[in-house]
Amino acid sequence: MVNVTDIQVMKPLLAAHGFHFSKAKGQNFLIQSWVPRQIAEDAGVDETAGVLEIGPGIGPLTQQLCLRAKKVVACELDQRLKPILDITVGEFDNLDIIWNDVLKTDVKALVAEQFQGLRPMACANLPYYITSPILSALLEAECFESVTVMVQKEVAVRIAAKPGSADYSAFTIFCQYYTEPEILFDVPAHCFLPQPKVTSAVIQLKVRKERPWQIDDQEIFFRVVKASFAMRRKKLTNGLASGFPELGKTGAAEVLEACGMDVNVRGETLSIDQFARIANEIVRRRGA
Ligand code: SAM
């Protein structure tokens, strides 16, 4: 197997194919072999797993996934990588490469078609310029057992943040609604070529089999969350009144009182359960 993380191997391989890194495509390739090995290990990939990889690049993580999984499907946007991947992962007969933008791919249909009878997982060193849209698409597809990805460390911290912390955001709640996140390990900038300006981290999002909250209307729930964080330094009543103009500030205060909450509370301190109660109260009032 070609050791693609060895810079003495990688550089001539890229040069032989006239390949230049594209910043616009978020291309920072791994040059330390322990990183893709650790990601594949920690993701729990084994012969019962079907793995969707996003952005194989020249294949360091792809190799580690193919060595462990029953089936790997890798989705890559940049067709210039084709002749290189032919060399680095061409030997694996449990691999399919899809040359497409992952955001234009029907992930749910792909998983249903390719991973029948397997534990579906997503695994990637993500292109950082589209981390949030990719994660949103993977979670909303609701077809994975887990999603294990490398992202900017600050994004990982935001995804795993607790209520009341500076990193707690609408994206935190979105991710924690679908999954239980755990930051696994940091990856310093010197592990990549070219080096990114930031530290990275690998985070695992274990998809919830059951959600522990009663949420009567998912759309209203996410509208409440969005409205609460749109004015995160202000009282929640302001955010709710702006996100739900029909309530006004008085109605927003009544909703909070009906939920047993302080009318001066700020949204950034609330748990998912508390957001759920507010959303359910708004749904109840709309129906009344
Ligand atoms: N997996 C390789 C590694 O770890 O060395 C490469 C990771 S690099 C951070 C991100 C990869 O995602 C690049 O190969 C890039 O071409 C690919 N990519 C960027 N945008 C994409 C998209 N919308 N859909 C699929 N792949 C994409």
Q: What is the pLDDT of residues 225-248, one digit of tens each?
A: 999 998 878 899 999 999 999 999
* 212 belongs to a structural domain: no
Q: Quick one: which atom of ligand 1 is closest to the CA of 78?
A: 16
Of the three residues 156, 182, 207, the one that is the final residue of a domain is: 207
Of the three residues 207, 232, 262, the one that is the final residue of a domain is: 207
Whether residue 19 is found in the same domain as residue 157:
yes
Whether residue 41 is found in the same domain as residue 113:
yes
Whether residue 203 is found in the same domain as residue 226:
no
Whether residue 36 is found in the same domain as residue 132:
yes
- Ligand 1 centroid distance, CA of 261 (Å): 45
Whether residue 39 is found in the same domain as residue 162:
yes
Whether residue 26 is found in the same domain as residue 140:
yes
* 248 belongs to a structural domain: yes
* 15 belongs to a structural domain: yes
176: left (phi over 0), alpha (psi -120 to 50) or beta: alpha
Which are the contacts of 230, defined by CB distance < 8 A and separation ≥ 6?
239, 242, 243
* 60 belongs to a structural domain: yes
Report the amino acid identity of residue 21. F
CATH code of 241's domain: 1.10.8.100
Residue 84: alpha-carbon gap to chain centroid = 27
Whether residue 123 is found in the same domain as residue 240:
no
Report the amino acid identity of residue 207. V
Whether residue 59 is found in the same domain as residue 200:
yes
* 2 belongs to a structural domain: no
CB atoms within 10 A of CB 142: 11
Going 131 to 133 to 136 to 138, the CA torsion angle's sign is negative
Q: For position 288, what pLDDT does the model report?
A: 66
Q: Whose CA is nearest to atom 2 of ligand 1?
A: 57
Q: Whose CA is nearest to atom 22 of ligand 1?
A: 101
| Residues linked to residue 148 through DSSP beta bridges, in sequence order | 123, 204
CATH code of 177's domain: 3.40.50.150
**Structural domain of 54:** 7-207
Best probe residue, ligand 1, of 78, 97, 98, 200 (max atoms within 8 Å of C-beta): 78
Of the three residues 207, 233, 250, the one that is the final residue of a domain is: 207
Q: Measured at the alpha carbon of residue 68, what is the angle toward residues 67 and 73, in degrees to the nearest 5?
A: 80
CB–CB of 140/174 below 8 Å? no
| Residues linked to residue 119 through DSSP beta bridges, in sequence order | 49
Residue-wise over 232-253: b if at least 16 C-beta within 10 A, else e? beebbbbbbbebbeebeeebbb
Domain count, the chain: 2
* 234 belongs to a structural domain: yes
Q: Which residues of the chain have pLDDT under 70?
A: 288
Distance CA 216, CA 287 (A): 12
Binding-site residues, ligand 1, Cβ < 6 A: 25-30, 54-57, 60-61, 75-78, 101-103, 125, 127, 130
What tokens were used for 24?
A: 């616009």
Whether residue 199 is found in the same domain as residue 232:
no
Q: Quick one: which atom of ligand 1 is closest to the CA of 53?
A: 1
Q: For position 140, what pLDDT does the model report?
A: 97
* 146 belongs to a structural domain: yes
The pTM (predicted TM-score) of the whole model is 0.96
- Ligand 1 centroid distance, CA of 262 (Å): 46
Q: Quick one: which atom of ligand 1 is closest to the CA of 103?
A: 23
Whether residue 26 is found in the same domain as residue 160:
yes
Whether residue 50 is found in the same domain as residue 162:
yes
Whether residue 201 is found in the same domain as residue 239:
no
- Ligand 1 centroid distance, CA of 213 (Å): 35
* 1 belongs to a structural domain: no
Q: For position 233, what pLDDT does the model report?
A: 80
